[in-house]
Structure 1
Amino acid sequence: MSNDDDDLPFGLYERLVTASLKARLLRFDSDTVRIVKKELDPAEAHAALARHVANVLSRALNALPQADRVAEQSELTNQIVGLLAANPASDGAQDDLVEIPPEELRAIQPIGKTPNPNRDLVAPLVALSASDLLVNARGEPGLAHALAHEIPSADSIDLLCAFVRWHGLRLLEDQLETHCRAGRRLRVITTVFTGSTERKALDWLVARGAQVKVSYDTQSTRLHAKAWLFSRASGYSTAYIGSSNLSKSALVDGVEWNVRLSQVGSPDILEKFDATFDTYWESPEYESYEPIRDAARFDRAVAPQQGESPEAPLLFLDVEPWPHQREMLEKLAVERERHHRFRNLVVAATGTGKTIVAALDYKRLCDQLGDLRLLFVAHRQEILKQSLGAFRQVLRSGDFGELYVDGHRPDEWHHVFASIQSLAQVDLKQLNPNAFDVVIIDEFHHAAAPTYRRLLEHLFLGDEVNPIRRPPRILLGLTATPERTDADDILHYFDNHIAVEMRLWDALERGLLCPFQYFGLHDNTDLSSVRWSRKGYDTAELERLYTGDDARVRLVLEQVRQKHREAGAMRALGFCVSIAHAEFMARRFTEAGLPSVAVSADTDSDARKDALASLRAGRIRALFAVDLFNEGVDLPEVDTLLFLRPTESALVFLQQLGRGLRRHERKDCVTVLDFIGQSHRQFRFDLRYRAITGTTRTEVEKQVQLGFPFLPAGCSMQLDRVATQIVLDNVKSAIPSRRPAMVKELRALADARSASGRRITLVEFLQEAGLELEDVYRSGSWSGLQREAGLSLPAPGPYEALIGDRLAAILHVDDPLRLGAYVRLADSAPVDGLPDADRRLMTGFHFAVIPSKVAPKTLAESVALVHAHPAIVEELRELLPLLDERSEHLTYPLDLAQPAGSPLRVPLSVHARHTVDDVLTAFRILDFDKTAWKQSGTIRDEQTNSDLFFVTLEKSEREYSPSTLYKDYAISPTLFHWES
């Protein structure tokens, strides 16, 4: 788009405002043109300024006359360098003066250590400092030729390549062999995906000294990247990133695009390449390949991809959990070891490996407690056989366990895999509850059925007055869908608590679920005046509105056809507000040529099964229902979801979304159409978007404004213009004004309890209001909120508001060591005789919570000051157990090689969250008499012989800053790249 100033067309810029540019901007009419400027980000200002100076200098050098041009360019360059050298901050700039006449260093190489000592090193075809795009076109070097010229000068090579084939490898055979023979590193990451990688090629690489790692995962995460990194100690590394695998067609005659990048021109990208490759290399997903050990496994892995039938493995393989499974196992350990809950429910999508998790969990328990008697219950023989196989693989025992199903009956009753049907036929009086230590029940959402209920009550809820009765120590329930309709019936077995719930985000990241494309579409309806209650919109009013609106149906049909180009082949689920609404939508879709059926809980069972079968077979295109698909119905064929009613509950929204996310061979992604109207002011859009994205409430607004840029691979979310504004207005109104809304909500809840004489607790308020601790402490404290609501509290101390406002600074605390010390601080004021560890931890509390303007001089004065505020003390007694309850990790005291039995010198915990002040007070670098300390880099603590490294991971204020992301990063759980 143009305007009167042809040099400044309308559009986006990242251009420094100079005096000249400022004058030109002033020529625009402020009534018709908006000029947007922003201060430089401190983390990236140096790069922006350097680019500007480079451009100015380049123009100036290029404008010099041709006569003696190089000499004059060098002289001008030295004048600028000299100016920098005069600045005290530019240490060493004087050494950067260009020698006259100017020369360019091309190589440094040893003499006498090569067959041809006077022969120059082979240089890349593209200059070391240049970038280029190679497209295998006539008149430019082919990729294979370019790579062959990069290899000789590389000190190390990293190759990330989905397919490695012999005919591609042999094009670089001589160069790679010479590279490896010189003792230089060559790392290769590849996959067995599609069976394209050839073992012959990998064997050749390993034989020459290359390190090779392979991903054997063919079902979820699929490596498609093709990239080379040629690292040079001289600082002139280069990289190739593009479409070419290591095959002849890709390197020679394929229509391939590959970008060549240089460290000089694109240092940030090469740093990111190096960091990401190291992270992949350390990931357990990529396993080292050794021909003697792994050849048979590799052949078995590629055979099914090539359409062959692999031979069955003869040996047990070590079963290593995926990262998401490790997290699930850790949460189970936390529930038992930290919170002492031994009946736990695991909720995770089908395909996430819940049975493997159960087997690994059982193995860990046996390692800790010895052999444990096991009862594994499922409702189908196939599940039992697969589960038994999984346990045998994990335990590396071919004779582990006995089946009790379809005529099989246990002999020893020590490790039993039983069907619920077989157990239902047993007189439970003959089944001794003491016979099992661990009970695992698969598809636990069936537990509301009478057969399951009888078994569970017999095992866990029997006659407690019987002194010899001992229920199993551990109950583990596994399910993909804790249905809303009977959730209360199953959750009471677990004290109404879900121990492990795999987040949607994690499952999508792992490729365990089908990616989705979400479209939020304005439907021209206005729900702002629809009657609202604590349960949400009035269903009857919504039904009248939706069933009387043919224009909305036309819009829905139009969007279905527009977003789903093959609507006549789709398999869709539509979620409606009522039975009448579902029948209305099915009728209108059928009339439009898309055969559809409405089903509900009132629909005859056989008719419902027929409808589901028709959708699977493609005889109908859509099923419209109301709260029906929360019953564990498995429909992996569904590729389209229609949200035709406002759904505020994150639980219901995720359950409905999950109905389309099961993987199926005939679908690449799920199309989600969410029809959005003008909402009631009490309706909250942020709940659903937080559930999808895994972000906090305050981050949702940014996500909506930016168009949801940070989603798992393959997923996208788009809101149309009107829907975006509706959601943004709703989110903005919900977030900044939440404090008044919370006060009103608290007052109403407190009034409801006043009749019984009970005061409302912090945990009750959070549960009733659907809030998180961060919501309460974002702009105050719990005691402050109670005072604003007019609740009765002890008289305020002198600094209650100041201290209350700073309690948010301890919300990160998640380790028993620190929480225990804070509990003791709240329980008692005297500090005489406290262990040194407690004193250091309480000092950390002081620097976090006590305002500097109050400034007690000793720990005793600080603790006394806290107890001068009884409402704050009472608030701590409510808050600290909540912090402990939401802890998700097992933590361990930091071991600094202390003598056995000695008191803990540095009270920090591994795997816990700490602030800088927490760390410094634990080391006594920060104390009441030591308030000055170095705020970045490293600190040496001589008393413990320790070096403390501090890292700022988010250096830029931008949502995404490629120039600052890869200075400090975690390579693996045990390696960290530090460059601060």
Structure 2
Amino acid sequence: MEQLIRKIESSLYKGFIDQNKPVSAQFKPKLLTNKNHESVLSTLLQELKTCNTFTFSVAFITEGGLATLKTMLYDLKLKGIKGRILTSTFLNFNQPKMFKELLKLENIEVRLTGEKGFHSKGYIFEHTDYYSLIVGSSNLTDSALKANYEWNVFLTSLENGEIINHFKNQFEDAWNAAIPLTEEWINSYNQHFELQPFIKQLTGNTFQINEKYLTNQLAESLSVQPNKMQSVALQQIKELRETGANKGLIISATGTGKTYLSAFDVRNFAPKKMLFVVHREQILKKAMQDYRKILGGNEDDYGILSGNSKAVDAKYLFATIQTLSRDQYLQEFTKDHFDYVLVDEVHKAGADSYLKVMNYFEPEFLLGMTATPERTDGFNIYELFDYNIAYEIRLQAALEEDMLCPFHYFGVTDFEKDGEIVDDATELRNLVSNERVRHIIEKINYYGHSGDQVKGLMFCSSKEEAKNLSISLNNAGLKTTALTGDNTQDEREDAIQKLEKGRLEYILTVDIFNEGIDIPFLNQIVMLRQTQSSIIFIQQLGRGLRKHDSKEYVTIIDFIGNYKNNYLIPIALSGDQSMNKDNVRRRTVNTDYIQGVSTINFEEIAKKKIFDAINNTNLSTLKTLKDAYLEVKNRLGRIPTLFDFIEQNSLDPEVIVGYSENYYKFLVKMKEEIPSLSDYEQAILTMISKEFLNGKRMHEVILIQELLKEQAISKESYLAKLNDYGTYVDEATIQSVENIFALNFFVQNDVKKYGGKAIIELINGTYQFNEELQESLRDSNFSSYLEDIVKCAYIKKEKYEKSIPFTLYEKYSRRDVCRLFNWEKNEEGTLNGGRIKNGTCPIFVNYHKNEEDSDTNYLDEFLSNDLFQWCSTKNRTVMAKDINPIIHSTENGVDVHLFVKKHNGEGKDFYYLGPVNVESESASNQQIEDAGVQYGVVTMNMVLESPVQYDIYHYLVEE
């Protein structure tokens, strides 16, 4: 307790007296504004995760606000953590359905205050020895917690603090005077709840005029205008045509208005005849309606060519590919009959029917549109359009531009029985068992939906599951139907109409609704199958992302079982195609990358299933890498460089190098016909790729870059270049750089692999490549490989600090640490635990040791997010010659740095958690057991200079 008091006292001093005081920032008062990557929501979740109980006093609550917390509240319920919420009916903001959502929270007691003008916004969390408090402007709404510019103060207090007691007393007074929330109260409130038709409640704390109401009133006098994305796209299409191009490709996320965009461009182009090609008649009719809104004109100007209509003379013809591709219809048109041809869902254009039509017509301009141009069959969509990407906007950018309906994604645990969770081998009878049906209903009810009535789409793993599960759900009281490829188009349209009118609650399907269908009123998407590809995942999620007046957001409920492809979920949600395992883990741990008010939430057990899949899966198989390689090559129309993969948000160059040692070898494996390189040239490529591509230290990269420009550079000029770049410069680092290029740093096997002789030499104060390398660099092909690595390293460096060797929360191997600490030799093979060398001491910790790692129960443990108990290796005492100096490192001026990884499944790299100060008085001799034998170890407490940020901390600590 005394230590806690000191921490809070020093944090308050830093927060209220001197911001420059060098103390722990764990309890520092701070302002939460939803800016600079620290949202109110992330702090709220952090406090909930670690509290013993909590109390909210908030005037306004929305369903979206509750949705952001539901996964955390569910996990807290499993741990027995309870809380209280006090709210009101002030200004009739809180809607009846929101109160019903509150009643679903079994571990939350809710009361309603009758306090006049109740407008409080406070969140209190009781921890084991202290309280934390968030108070300010944020109500419990998704906008206020994540998107709006808010002002909230975060404070920490001991139980006897006056401020916390004042808040607690005020709350208790209001709580005791309030009435409990009940079903009966909600029914009564619902009867009196009225909302004027021209007022729309926002998810924040204010009101605005209802756009729908005004639009309905003014529709007669207003014409449809392009949105922001469409305006930019139209300009880019115009500029593309001005270059003489007669083809263009639009890549635009589902729901962003591709059809309207194409209609606006047709209006600009003003063709005499236009053809719009789709693959389904249902889409065709909707497209024609949208075009009439934009283009106007007589009804006779528009016609359909499909199985049921043959209006071939129409000015604006909308045709299904199935009908148009038949010779009897295609031959009715001359090749130049249409000035302008549009092909929707053009990623299907590899099919013979599409190619037949596209090769036949010769319009003045051909426009293709798709949300997902990626293909796995090797067909090059981009080539069809002469590699002209007229415009591109993907999911993340579309969310940021507020073009799509926000979503709240919930990764939930699939049904578990007798310790076994649903996997890809689960029999159908278990997938549709009464127990699983109850589990599904429990989850879809708990996570809910926006709007008055659920209008959901469930994706199943097979036709049989869809049909049988629909029957089981109906027997349980739901209104559902199953649609598969066996159903006719009329049956599909009938089911969609029933869903819209409320006569159905869910449509269960396999994959016929993945794309090419517009159901904007959907407010819940349920995924009951494993993720087979990130493309299909986004297609299915995208079914609910169209905006609609009946919903504020769409709920995505993803049932996560024991599926080997679970790692695809964070890849799909983030759009990170790097195949870098650390990136994928980070996208699972921290989901702040999602834009706007949308959120991504994983139940703890479901999250562990994803981590298991990441650890147990090889993300860099030949097939995975080849598919990604061909995608980039097809998009560019040439052999890509490593840097191209970065620009195209594709494979991480480090993954490529990890697979093939260097890019030349990778291209050979891709069976590209390229100029050959000598064995020595390949060795140099391997060395520079393996050691410097990662950008963790730029000193070597800058020297290579300068020598690629000129054959030699003086040491003085080199040091000036380093200073210009803004990195740290000291003699030890420069000696380390020289030592590495002389290959003196490396073990013998690496020396041989890297060519066996010094790469860069310092002669008379001047650096230069060795003679053999200088000769090789006269070949522009070889030098281009090196230049490519240098470009990649500069981009990679952006996530690392320039002015210091290590960056908090980035990952480093033992080899990296030896190099960045300027050690003369790479000692990674013998570097276990901790070792003092040259005034520095790295501490390496494998936090969760699996049985195969060790039978020994070591005592490494986080005592808090800024206090770590370190355990030495076996057979050590406090007086051991390699332990005692670490104990007294602070007084001896030794810099101790902590590196931690969750377990060996993460590979060789450790998270850098920063400098630590060893509390020498905490060091003590302990005993551990290994195979029944007792061994002596030493434990000591290490105080981190920077408390570990909560997402990394909980990831490392949790089993």
TM-score bin, normalised by smaller chain:
0.3 to 0.5
Q: Which protein is richer in strand relative to its size?
A: 2
With the length of structure 2 as denominator, give the TM-score of the two structures.
Answer: 0.45
- TM-score, normalised to structure 1, is 0.44
